[in-house]
Structure formats: structure tokens, C-alpha cells
């Protein structure tokens, strides 16, 4: 049995970690610099990141490898260092996790390539699977317990990343970012996520939503997934409020109190893994941990209840009939 399933068998809800980019910017990372290179150049700072999350009570920590695939690394002439950087990242996280004396899942973060699949772009399924396999092998070599596929938009890329994990002999989870009127940028609806894995030789250990545009929007996505989960564990990893640009700094509006309310709602919506994405600091995670540990199960919330407690949706779902917006660009796990 995978370690994630072992923990889920013992605990009703697990807490994941928080933001990578937001916290690394506070440690000196500058805009445009790849955080993945810090696995080699500043391993002490990556260890500090993990220690902060673990100190707040995380049961799951993600490696600093969101963009550590050959396509993203090529932007920094580091495409030949994919295995090395993923292995280093997993080793840093594994060491931090083991030092706690608790059972911690080290999840190998695998984000999008930033490329479009044919016919919209040039990326083929075979090449994408090869790239994700390379990344997953590095994560496995460094001691990761599971591949954590995240912030995905297209069915093809989710399946390619899953195939990469499977090829490396790793269990996996997958989360998508529903940031475009209740869908991903490539038109995937949350209620259809469970079907993405049909026909694969290995099913995910869990799936869900991360990032997006706000906690309210993500929770509505969780409600849609929960209704069609087919026995899967659902993940909720929302941004910490709404991003607000102040000069050259991006501040997230979410308070610890808001993230606590989000956590209670996520649990009542059926999520069994809850954490934070962009903007989420150890301080926010302490509030999430407290909410998990003190939660009394309530009724399943609806959209009105979610908006009443944590604010209106930023990008409400649109009416049926339109095509999903097609765009690309470099996503960050902030």
C-alpha cells in the first residue's frame, strides 16, 4: 500500500503544505529565476521552506520541482540537469520529513511543461511522456513517496504526466487549475476530471484542484468533483485569497482566519487532503491545521454558503456552449 493510502487509512483528513514561490521570494528568489536551481545552489533555503511547513503540521510536503522538466529547464539552459535537480529536491524534502519523527508523505511536484500539444502546438504525447518519466525517475531516486501532478489544464498533459509516473514505478495524484469560468484554460470541467484517468494502467491515489483564482472558486470545483469522484480521494489546495499587485510585489489577500474557514468548508465538501497554494505561508497552515483538528462535520455547503463565509467567486462558471479558452504561458507554483 502506498504511504499516502496508509496515512489516509489512519487519519480522516491530511494536511498538505503551502506555497513554494511566495515563501522563496521572501528568502531572496527574484522574479524570473527558476526556484528549481536552488535545490543545488541554496539547499539550506529549501530545507527551511520544508521545515516551516512541517512545523505547522503538514502531513504532506511537495518537492521544489514544479518546473523541473526539460521544457521549463531549457529556458535556463538546464535541460540536462532534470534528473539531478529532481533527485536533489526529493533528498532535501526526505531529510526534512524524516527529521520530524512523524509519518510524512514526500510528494514529488510535477507541473506543466508550458507547451501546447498538437495540433495547437508541437508537443506530442510520446515526447511529453518521456519528459515526465525523466522527472519522475529523478524524484523516485531522491526518495519521494509519490508523484504530485499539479496545476494542470489539459487532459493530454494530465495523462502524459500520469504515464510518466507509472513508467517510473511511482504512485501519483493529480490536480487541475480551474481558473477560467469554472474550467481549466483548456476547457476541462471539474466534474469530468475523474474520467481523465480512464484506460490508464494505474489509477491516481487522489485527484482534485489547486491554484485557480480564489478559495471560493476552488471549493465550488471540489463540490463538482466530489459528486463524480467514483471512490477517489479529493484534494483541495486553494490559493490564499486573491492576488493583489503592489509595485513589484504580489500580495495575497487571505488571512489565517479565511484559510481556516476554507478548510472547514473543504472538509464538509468532502475533501480529505487540504492545503494551500499561492500565498500560503506557515502561519496560514497553522490555522488550517487547527481547523482540521477541531472540525465537527457539518452539512455539505452550497455555493451560497461558500460565498457567505469566504467571499464571492472571482470567475463564476459560464453557461454551457462556449469553447474552452486556449492559451499557453508559464505557470508558477507561487
Q: Are 225 and 209 in contact (CB under 8 A)?
A: yes
Is 211 marked within a binding site? yes
Which residues, in sequence order, are bridge partners of residue 232?
Answer: none
Q: Which of 301, 218, 303 is nearest to 259 (CA)?
A: 218
Give the separation between CA 8 and CA 61, rounded to whole angstroms: 15
Annotate 125-151 with DSSP letters as a single string: HHHHHHHHHHHHHHHHHHT-SEEEEEE
Per-residue CA distances from 157 to 14, 43, 117 (Å): 26, 29, 8
49 Rama class: left (phi>0) / alpha (psi -120 to 50) / beta: alpha
H or E element that contains 85: helix 82-98
Q: Which of 126, 139, 60 is nearest to 92 (CA)?
A: 139
Which residues, in sequence order, are bridge partners of residue 123?
Answer: 117
Is 240 marked within a binding site? no
Is 278 marked within a binding site? yes
Binding-site annotation: residue ranges: 211, 277-278
Binding-site annotation: residue ranges for Zn(2+): 211, 277-278
Amino acid at each position: 500500500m502506498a504511504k499516502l493510502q496508509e496515512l489516509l487509512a489512519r487519519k480522516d483528513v491530511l494536511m498538505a503544505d503551502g506555497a513554494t514561490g511566495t515563501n522563496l521570494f521572501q528568502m531572496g528568489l527574484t522574479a524570473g529565476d527558476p526556484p528549481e536551481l536552488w535545490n543545488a545552489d541554496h539547499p539550506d533555503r529549501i530545507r527551511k521552506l520544508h521545515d516551516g511547513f512541517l512545523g505547522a503540521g503538514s502531513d504532506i510536503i511537495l518537492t521544489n520541482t514544479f518546473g523541473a522538466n526539460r521544457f521549463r529547464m531549457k529556458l535556463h539552459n538546464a535541460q540536462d540537469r532534470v534528473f539531478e535537480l529532481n533527485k536533489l529536491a526529493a533528498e532535501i524534502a526526505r531529510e526534512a520529513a524524516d527529521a520530524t519523527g512523524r509519518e510524512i508523505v514526500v510528494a514529488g511536484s510535477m507541473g506543466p511543461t508550458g507547451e501546447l500539444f498538437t495540433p495547437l502546438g508541437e508537443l506530442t504525447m510520446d515526447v511529453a511522456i518521456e519528459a515526465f518519466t525523466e522527472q519522475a525517475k529523478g524524484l523516485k531516486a531522491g526518495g519521494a513517496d509519490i508523484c504530485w501532478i499539479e496545476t494542470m489544464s489539459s487532459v493530454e498533459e494530465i495523462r502524459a504526466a500520469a504515464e510518466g509516473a507509472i513508467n517510473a514505478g511511482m504512485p501519483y495524484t493529480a490536480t487541475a487549475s480551474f481558473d477560467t469560468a469554472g474550467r481549466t484554460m483548456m476547457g476541462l470541467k471539474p466534474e469530468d476530471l475523474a474520467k481523465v484517468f480512464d484506460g490508464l494502467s494505474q489509477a491516481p491515489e487522489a485527484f482534485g484542484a489547486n491554484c485557480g483564482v480564489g478559495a471560493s472558486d476552488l471549493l465550488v470545483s471540489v463540490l463538482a468533483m466530489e459528486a463524480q469522484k467514483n471512490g477517489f480521494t479529493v484534494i483541495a489546495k486553494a490559493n490564499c485569497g486573491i492576488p493583489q499587485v503592489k509595485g513589484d510585489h504580489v500580495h495575497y489577500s487571505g488571512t489565517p482566519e479565511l484559510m481556516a474557514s476554507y478548510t472547514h468548508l473543504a472538509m464538509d465538501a468532502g475533501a480529505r487532503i487540504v492545503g494551500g497554494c499561492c500565498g500560503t505561508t506557515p502561519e496560514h497552515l497553522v490555522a488550517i491545521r487547527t481547523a482540521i483538528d477541531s472540525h465537527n462535520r457539518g452539512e455539505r455547503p452550497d455555493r451560497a454558503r461558500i460565498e457567505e463565509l469566504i467571499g464571492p467567486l472571482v470567475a463564476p462558471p459560464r453557461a454551457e456552449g462556449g469553447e474552452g479558452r486556449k492559451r499557453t504561458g508559464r505557470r508558477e507554483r507561487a
